[in-house]
């Protein structure tokens, strides 16, 4: 059953937010890329840090379950989200990691996204 039951029941009743989501989805249509770890550039302004213990835990998870959440990168291979996963992948000995490339954001939007993404994660219970 689709998440948006209202839309599934009546496809002609599309709200403004649904239009925005559909447009964003079409624009972002992610393509998964395997990028060599040496080609990825951590953001010098990444607000989040990971302890060595956390990185080992992430590495063990990657080894056990695979690299299930791709890193988010820009057109210059700079990481927007996934710094910890990249470092853990290095610990696990991976040569490349799956990434989704985001090319539609301005530099200001990228900075705002990185901050928002990290703040939302910190607010999790």
Structure token digits, residue 6: 């209202």
Is the torsion defined by CA of 96, 117, 7, 17 positive or negative? Answer: negative
Domain assignments of the chain as residue spans, ordered by start? 30-43+50-122
**What is the C-alpha separation between 123 and 125, in angstroms, rounded?**
6
The pTM of the full predicted model, rounded to 2 decimals, is 0.70
Which two structure tokens, joined as six digits, stand for 35? 């990028």
Residue 4 phi, psi dihedral angles, 5° rounding: -90, 90
User: What confidence tens digit (pLDDT) does each residue in 48-79 have?
Assistant: 788 899 999 999 999 999 989 999 999 999 99
Question: What are 1-19's pLDDT values in tens digits?
Answer: 344 444 444 455 556 766 6
Alpha helices in the chain (DSSP H): 5-9, 16-28, 52-65, 83-91, 107-122
The whole-number pLDDT of residue 2 equals: 45
Query: What value does the mean pLDDT take over residues 38-53?
Result: 86
Q: What's the pLDDT score for residue 71?
A: 94
Q: 102-118: per-residue pLDDT in tens?
A: 888 899 998 888 888 77
> What is the per-residue burial (b if ≥16 Cβ within 10 Å, else e) of 20-41?
eeeeeeeeeeeeeeebeeeebe
At 6 the pLDDT is: 46
**In the chain, what percentage of residues exceed pLDDT 90?**
46
The answer to whether domain 30-43+50-122 has CATH 3.40.718.10 is no
- The DSSP bridge pattern shows strands 32-36 and 71-73 to be unpaired
Assigned token pair, 102: 């985001």
């Amino acid at each position: 059953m689709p998440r948006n039951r209202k839309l599934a029941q009546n496809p002609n009743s599309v709200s403004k937010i649904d239009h925005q989501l559909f447009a964003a989805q079409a624009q972002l249509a992610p393509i998964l890329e395997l990028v060599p770890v040496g080609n990825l550039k951590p953001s010098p302004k990444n607000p989040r840090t990971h302890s060595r213990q956390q990185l080992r835990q992430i590495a063990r998870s990657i080894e056990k379950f695979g690299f299930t959440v791709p890193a988010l990168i820009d057109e210059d291979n700079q990481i927007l989200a996934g710094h910890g996963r990249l470092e853990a992948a290095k610990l696990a000995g991976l040569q490349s990691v799956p990434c989704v490339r985001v090319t539609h954001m301005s530099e200001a939007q990228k900075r705002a996204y990185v901050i928002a993404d990290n703040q939302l994660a910190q607010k999790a219970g």
